[in-house]
Amino acid sequence: MICDICRKNKATIIYTEVINGEKNQTCLCDECAVSMNLQGLGKNNKSDTPMGSILSGILSSYMERYIENKTSDNSSKAVCPTCGMSFSTFMRERLLGCPDCYSTFSVVIEKQLKSVQPGTSHVGKVPVNATVYELKKVEPGPEKVLKTQNGNTAPSSKTKSAGKTTDIGELRLQIKEAVQKEDFMLAAKLRDRIKELENTEKDKGPDVKKSKKSAKKPKNK
């Protein structure tokens, strides 16, 4: 039996597809079977899976740009005072510039870690001689706090509950997460919520507090 696709190799797999009661048989060799991506033989997943991942790819990159352009909260405008890394560069390259970036972009970092990691606080090995960077919660111009470690450390910050927030920036991040998880229902709900909030904000008139510039403190080297 010769493979129906390449007409060269010996067929080892018979792929039977039943669509709307119509039976269709294809004889395949190993190579062609793999290249056709017939993993779960029988399951018609060859069309679903790629589509889903393509879609989430497009959506997540779209969302990223959207967040960068539209968010007006502090973290999106933030530039790390120590190394000059900007939020947009960080989002694009997924690389931080220096230890202090962890304070500067803490809000976003927390979100990103949550989506893939089991926790957002370190519980593993502790170095004996390291320079310990404390996380500054204050948004405007985070300053570096250095201290020499003296034994035990306690993970401090509590993570805000991501449930019912009224912060549009945060909601947008949640959308992105939802899209990454391919939970489009949740994404749609969040989108509606943002629209709602935007409308109510418009009714209230221009928001003054949002345009507040972050005052940079002189950095100490």
Chosen residue from 16, 25, 37, 200 binding another protein by CB under 8 A: 37
Residues 6+ apart with CB under 8 A from 8: 2, 29
What are the C-alpha distances in Å from 136 to residues 58, 76, 80, 102, 182?
34, 17, 13, 9, 33
Closest approach of another protein to the CB of residue 77, in Å: 19
Closest approach of another protein to the CB of residue 210, in Å: 27
Cα–Cα dist 97/83, whole Å: 6
78 near another protein (CB under 8 A)? no
Given the complex with another protein, which of 57 and 166 has the nearer CB atom?
57
Footprint of another protein on residues 92-131 (CB under 8 A)? Answer: 93-99, 101-102, 109, 112-113, 116-131
Chosen residue from 2, 55, 58, 83 binding another protein by CB under 8 A: 83
Exposed, middle or buried, 178 (CB in 10 Å: 0-12/13-18/19+)?
A: buried
What tokens appear for 97 in the block? 């510039």
Cα–Cα dist 47/123, whole Å: 42
132 near another protein (CB under 8 A)? yes
User: Degrees (nearest 5) of the Cα angle 195, 200, 201?
Assistant: 95
Closest approach of another protein to the CB of residue 28, in Å: 11
Closest approach of another protein to the CB of residue 184, in Å: 18
Handedness of CA 34, 37, 43, 49 (dihedral sign): positive
25 near another protein (CB under 8 A)? no
Given the complex with another protein, which of 60 and 197 has the nearer CB atom?
60
> In this structure, which amino acid lies at residue 51?
M
Chain contacts with another protein (rule: CB under 8 A): 10, 12, 30, 33-35, 37-41, 49, 82-85, 93-99, 101-102, 109, 112-113, 116-135, 146, 149, 153-157
